[in-house]
Amino acid sequence: MSSKRQDYLNTLSDHLRKLPEEERLDAVREIESHIEEGIRNGQSEAVLLEKLGDPRQLARAFRSEHLSHRSNRSAFDLLAMVGFYCTTGLASVIVVPILATIAYGFGFTAILIFLAGILRTFGVSWIQMNLGPGYSVPTEWSMVFALLVGGMIGAIAYYSRKYLRIYLKFLSDRYRSALPANR
pLDDT digits (tens, 9 = 90+) for 48-88: 888 888 888 888 877 777 666 655 556 666 666 666 666 66
pLDDT of residue 120: 92
Residue 155 has pLDDT above 50, yes or no: yes
Q: What is the mean pLDDT of residues 89-97?
A: 77
Residue 138 has pLDDT above 80, yes or no: yes
pLDDT of residue 87: 64
Better-predicted residue by pLDDT, 181 or 28 = 28
Better-predicted residue by pLDDT, 182 or 104 = 104
CA atoms of 35 and 90, how far apart (whole Å): 30
